[in-house]
Amino acid sequence: MNQTKEKNQCGEASKCCASPMTQPAPSERIPQNHTSAKVAYRIVKDELLPQTQPRLNLATFVTTNMDEYATRLMNEAVAINYIDETEYPRVAVICGRCINMMANLWNSPEKAEWKAGAVGIGSSEACMLGGVAAWLRWRERRKAQGKPLDKANLVISSGYQVVWEKFCQLWQIELRTVPLSKQHPTLDIQKAIEMCDENTICVVPIQGVTWTGMNDDVEALDAALEAYNAKTGYQIPIHVDAASGGFILPFLNPERKWDFRLKWVLSISTSGHKYGLVYPGLGWVIWKDKKYLPQEMSFSVNYLGANITQVGLNFSRPAAQILAQYYNFLHLGMEGYRKIQEVSMEIARYCHKEIGQMVPFECYAKELDNPLFIWSLKAEYAAKAKWTLFDLQDKLRQSGWMVPAYTMPKDIDDMTVMRIVVRQGFSRDMADMLLKDMADAVKELEALEYPTTSRLKCQRKEHLKGKVYTH
């Protein structure tokens, strides 16, 4: 920002306060003078105005809708810091209860009164903690064997969420990715095992792959690792990234074994703010037993007179989401969660079927594992079409819908898809409105005389440049 602008923005108080609405919003320095609360509120509020209506945003996984009591509870707790145990000792107790409930939801065998787990800001923090624990356990074993510690690696499918890249980068662990392919739309177990060696800290299957909505087969992976570990004498465990699936499978598919019932699953993470139905940011990680949570990860601090033991990357964090998670458990119960997830699933299946029947499209998954799915243009259709899914995304945005189009991860990055995440609050009526808007948009695009810019870029493969953020 240049000097003149800066001066205008932060001129005399009278000038500044008289018409801050006519000045460019400060973006470099804190303004010299104050702006009235009302005007400052208006300016900040207006910044958010042109964005998509949360209810029409089918791109996000994160809760945008909680009931009146939950919202009240959270607003009333907005000033509570989770770490202030002396002031609010019950917050830690409620957090511990949530951890117990999550552990039992995932069939933890742990008998202790307080199960081993931790709260995080989201799955990202929870995944990091699960990853760090696996890495420390691996180091412990290697040290005991007098073997080098410098070549740790982690095995995951190329459909991983960006947190795993962050984890591996920050802790300097080699990220080994098993490519997704048309033959293997989920983790290719055999390839995953082939990538393992003595330096593998864990394999990470995903329940609710961000890119596709599908589940990796954890039971098959567990069996394959059992055979591999028996043969090699290694002890490669599983951390399940169940950001979405952790709150879907226990309610809709309780027989399916993906959790602590499996031998090598030692930790699981999820997002409380996705299908846990809490506003952002909340994540959970649970270990199968205290013995899998390395001592070095628990920090005891004397804070404001209380001795607090904490596992986490953050220290201070809001308590409101934890209270809201507990509220949801109380209020909804198993039955309430099941009903809500069933409705989301039913609406997702309906959209999946309808979109699959539209002439230009084909869906990626035959059956839905989670209430989200992707689809693409049929190859023969795409070859002749003058438009792409990016054009459809723009068209739908004109009617207020946020339906993202993106290219798939490497090895199948020639494939462009669109995704819908169905969440609580998306009704059958809204689904019908969306489907109608989609059909109209397709009709308009089909009437085009010339190829769109996006179509020309696709022909030149320019759409593959730059990463697409998918959530």
Ligand X SMILES: *Cc1c(COP(=O)(O)O)cnc(C)c1O
Q: Annotate each residue in 105-124 with x if it binds ligand X (CB under 6 A) or - if it does not, as one string.
A: -----------------xxx
Q: Verify binding: residue 157, ligand X, rule CB under 6 A.
A: no
Q: Verify binding: residue 407, ligand X, rule CB under 6 A.
A: no
CB of residue 71 vs ligand X: minimum separation in angstroms? Answer: 20
461 burial class (0-12, 13-18, 19+ CB within 10 angstroms)?
exposed
Rounded Cα gap, residues 368 and 267, in angstroms: 25
Rounded Cα gap, residues 296 and 136, in angstroms: 8
CA 220 to chain centre: 24
Q: Verify binding: residue 153, ligand X, rule CB under 6 A.
A: no
CB of residue 454 vs ligand X: minimum separation in angstroms? Answer: 26
Name the residue nearer to ligand X (CB basis): 124 or 325. 124
Rounded Cα gap, residues 177 and 188, in angstroms: 10
Name the residue nearer to ligand X (CB basis): 205 or 237. 205
Residue entry with tokens 């601090």: 301
* Position among 131, 205, 283, 318 found at the interface with ligand X (CB under 6 A): 283
Name the residue nearer to ligand X (CB basis): 165 or 432. 165
CA 262 to chain centre: 23
Rounded Cα gap, residues 356 and 397, in angstroms: 21
Q: Verify binding: residue 277, ligand X, rule CB under 6 A.
A: no
Near ligand X by CB under 6 A, which window of 14-22, 78-86, 239-247, 452-460?
Answer: 239-247
CB of residue 162 vs ligand X: minimum separation in angstroms? Answer: 8
* Position among 9, 161, 212, 325 found at the interface with ligand X (CB under 6 A): 161
Q: Verify binding: residue 267, ligand X, rule CB under 6 A.
A: no
CB of residue 246 vs ligand X: minimum separation in angstroms? Answer: 10
Q: Write out the two tokens for 459.
A: 């022909």
Q: Verify binding: residue 415, ligand X, rule CB under 6 A.
A: no
CB of residue 377 vs ligand X: minimum separation in angstroms? Answer: 25
* Position among 83, 243, 405, 434 found at the interface with ligand X (CB under 6 A): 243
Name the residue nearer to ligand X (CB basis): 275 or 287. 275
* Position among 271, 321, 341, 454 found at the interface with ligand X (CB under 6 A): 271
* Position among 9, 100, 199, 210 found at the interface with ligand X (CB under 6 A): 210
Q: Cβ(167)–Cβ(189) under 8 Å?
A: no
Q: Cβ(200)–Cβ(235) under 8 Å?
A: no
Name the residue nearer to ligand X (CB basis): 124 or 416. 124
The residues in 7-46 that bind ligand X, with binding defined as CB under 6 A, are none
Q: Write out the two tokens for 398.
A: 């004109």
CB of residue 405 vs ligand X: minimum separation in angstroms? Answer: 18
CB of residue 382 vs ligand X: minimum separation in angstroms? Answer: 27
Number of residues that bind ligand X (CB under 6 A): 16
Q: Write out the two tokens for 443.
A: 């009709």
The secondary structure of residue 120, as a DSSP letter, is E
With the C-alpha atoms ordered 35, 37, 43, 44, is the resulting torsion angle positive or negative?
positive
Q: Cβ(154)–Cβ(176) under 8 Å?
A: yes
* Position among 85, 222, 241, 369 found at the interface with ligand X (CB under 6 A): 241
**Whose CA is closest to 290, among 85, 82, 100?**
100
CB of residue 360 vs ligand X: minimum separation in angstroms? Answer: 27
Rounded Cα gap, residues 405 and 441, in angstroms: 15
* Position among 61, 247, 329, 361 found at the interface with ligand X (CB under 6 A): 61
Q: Verify binding: residue 360, ligand X, rule CB under 6 A.
A: no
Residue 130: asked if its preceding bond is cis (omega within 30°), the reply is: no
Rounded Cα gap, residues 74 and 438, in angstroms: 36
**Whose CA is closest to 285, among 467, 128, 107, 161?**
128
Q: Verify binding: residue 218, ligand X, rule CB under 6 A.
A: no
Name the residue nearer to ligand X (CB basis): 276 or 360. 276
Q: Verify binding: residue 168, ligand X, rule CB under 6 A.
A: no
Residue nearest ligand X (C-beta atom): 122
CB of residue 358 vs ligand X: minimum separation in angstroms? Answer: 26
Name the residue nearer to ligand X (CB basis): 278 or 385. 278
H/E stretch holding 240 = strand 238-241
Task: For residue 38, give every residue at least 6 positions away whose Cβ sits within 8 Å of its Cβ, in sequence order, or none.
Answer: none
Rounded Cα gap, residues 10 and 34, in angstroms: 9
**Whose CA is closest to 115, among 98, 135, 100?**
100
Near ligand X by CB under 6 A, which window of 7-15, 65-73, 81-89, 202-210?
Answer: 202-210
* Position among 116, 178, 193, 206 found at the interface with ligand X (CB under 6 A): 206
Rounded Cα gap, residues 446 and 380, in angstroms: 15
CB of residue 285 vs ligand X: minimum separation in angstroms? Answer: 11
**Within 10 A of 200 (CB to CB), how many other CB atoms are there?**
25
DSSP string, 147-173: ---S--EEEEETT--HHHHHHHHHTT-
Name the residue nearer to ligand X (CB basis): 228 or 258. 258
**Which residues of this protein are in contact with ligand X, per CB under 6 A?**
61, 122-124, 127, 161, 163, 206, 208, 210, 241, 243-244, 271, 283, 471
